[in-house]
Amino acid sequence: MTAWLDTLLFGIYPYICLAVFFIGSWVRFDRDQYTWKSDSSQLLRTGSLRWGSNLFHIGVLFLFFGHTVGMLTPHFMYEPIISAGNKQLMAMVSGGIAGLLGFVGVSILLHRRLSDPRIRATSKTSDIVLLVLLWLQLALGLATIPLSAQHLDGSMMIKLAEWAQRIVTFRSGGVELLADAGWIFKAHMALGMSIFLIFPFTRLVHVWSGFGTLAYVLRPYQVVRARRLNLPPGHLQSQDRRA
Ligand code: HEM
């Protein structure tokens, strides 16, 4: 890939995607809260939704945490515990299983959305585009596994992770690390960033709420006071007078 295209896609585009992702989500939450939902179609037809949705969510949630921890943990932090090669193998096996589950799930969801007339009729263009992109993204992710198998020492994984770490910490030099990464890796990374870009304009916003519900674990207790009925005589009267 020519150097300028690499710079555009992996040096500048990540920041455009991240800015649209954060500011766009904030603006939509602020201005259009009634559109902030997963737009569930469960009421229209449950059938294949149960398998499709569960498989997809199990796979994709595992991949989300796997990608975050796997790509953003600096090499020196895990080096004493696990070698780069073993870490890559772990990512390939666990990510491969999760990717397959997610891929089967999203295929069921896409088939259902396109073939069921009730769901099709109530689908927005963005619902269909999103499922197609997720399908492609999972397919590309799975296609990276045979590529990774060609360099089991973990050297390419370290470069890709270092790129991601430089991007999120606003350090230069990330793009150069991708010079010899295969096009499947690059296509997967570019499409992955595009999912962040379209995120605020789709039903994906419900992901924020999914994680937001975890705040309930930390929420302070709600203080409930019983209404006192044995008030001293004249109390209510004096309050009424003040009002
Ligand atoms: C900005 C977003 C993303 C980036 C930068 C990214 C990057 C990567 C990289 C570098 C690998 C190869 C890891 C290695 O073996 O060295 C990978 C693998 C994979 N990705 Fe992504 N990815 C992104 C988003 C996604 C999303 C949204 C999905 C699913 C919907 C996904 C699914 C997969 C799968 C199934 C694999 C193969 C298994 C694995 O190695 O974990 N990725 N990704």
The CATH class that applies to domain 3-209 reads mainly alpha
* pLDDT score, position 237: 53
Rounded distance from Cα 95 to ligand 1 centre (Å): 8
- Report yes or no: 122 and 198 within 8 Å, Cβ to Cβ: no
Q: State what percent of residues in the chain have pLDDT above 90.
A: 81
Domain definitions of the chain by residue range: 3-209
What pLDDT does residue 243 have? 47
Confidence of residue 37 (pLDDT cuts 50, 70, 90): very high
- pLDDT per residue as tens digits for the range 89-132: 999 999 999 999 999 999 999 999 999 999 999 999 999 999 99
Q: How far apart are CA 33 and CA 4, in angstroms?
A: 40
Our answer on whether the CB atom of 66 is closer than 6 Å to any ligand 1 atom is: yes
Nearest alpha carbon, ligand 1 atom 41? 95
Q: How far apart are CA 7 and CA 175, in angstroms?
A: 6
CA distance 77 to 74: 6
Q: Ligand 1 in contact with 91 (CB < 6 A)?
A: yes
Q: Which residue has the tokens 């270092």?
A: 162
List, for residues 49-88, the tens digit of each pLDDT value.
Answer: 899 999 999 999 999 999 999 999 999 999 999 999 999 9
The span from the CA of 120 to the CA of 124, in Å, is 8
Rounded to whole angstroms, how far apart are CA atoms 93 and 119? 35
Does the C-beta of 178 come closer than 6 Å to ligand 1? Answer: no
